[in-house]
Amino acid sequence: MVRTVSGIGSKRLVVGAHYGLAGFIGQRVTSIVLTLWIFLVGVSMLFGPLSYDTWAALFAPLWMKVVTLIALFSLLYHAWIGMRNIWMDYIQPVWVRLSLETITILWLIACGVWSVQILWRV
């Protein structure tokens, strides 16, 4: 094992291999979920004219609400990893970067809560 030092204390290993792997995998997995969702909705909309009734009917079944919510949460996690990378790359002062990262997280959580209401109101 690489991490022979303990996980806490002043000798804690905070850089190196493994850090970021979860983000890397998460970015790919969520991107596949989003692509599948886009094709699902896109193909569904190819049949018949687009009206409120057909559009609302698409999101009426519970399974579609759940699938769409999974896609939306995937989007939020995807956006978090991407935005974190952008902040890490371009924003050097630690307190500015931490503030932007905090705002990003809270903003995305707010969007997630909102999207639940949007979906379950149909």
Partner 1 sequence: MSSFTAEKEPRPKFRNLNFPLLLSYRLPLPGVVSIMHRISGAALFLMLPLLLWLFDLSLMSELSFERLRGITSNFFFKLLLVFLIWGFLHHLVAGIRYLLLDLHVGIDLKSAHAGAIVVYAVSLPLAFIASLKIFGVF
Does 44 engage in binding with partner 1 (CB under 8 A)?
A: no
Of the listed pieces 1-9, 12-20, 51-59, 92-100, which binds partner 1 according to CB under 8 A? 51-59
- Site residues for partner 1, 64-83, by CB under 8 A, read 75, 79, 82-83
Q: How far is the CB of 35 from partner 1 (least distance, A)?
A: 7
Q: How far apart are CA 91 and CA 84, in angstroms?
A: 10
3-state DSSP call for residue 8? coil
Residue from 45, 56, 103, 116 binding partner 1 (CB under 8 A):
56
Q: How far apart are CA 35 and CA 47, in angstroms?
A: 19
**What does R_g of the chain's alpha carbons equal in angstroms?**
19
3-state DSSP call for residue 61? coil
Q: How far is the CB of 91 from partner 1 (least distance, A)?
A: 13
Residue from 47, 52, 63, 95 binding partner 1 (CB under 8 A):
52
Beta carbons of 2 and 39 less than 8 angstroms apart: no
Q: How far apart are CA 71 and CA 64, in angstroms?
A: 10
* Site residues, partner 1 (CB under 8 A): 28, 31-32, 35, 38, 52, 55-56, 59, 75, 79, 82-83, 86, 111, 114-115, 118-119, 121-122
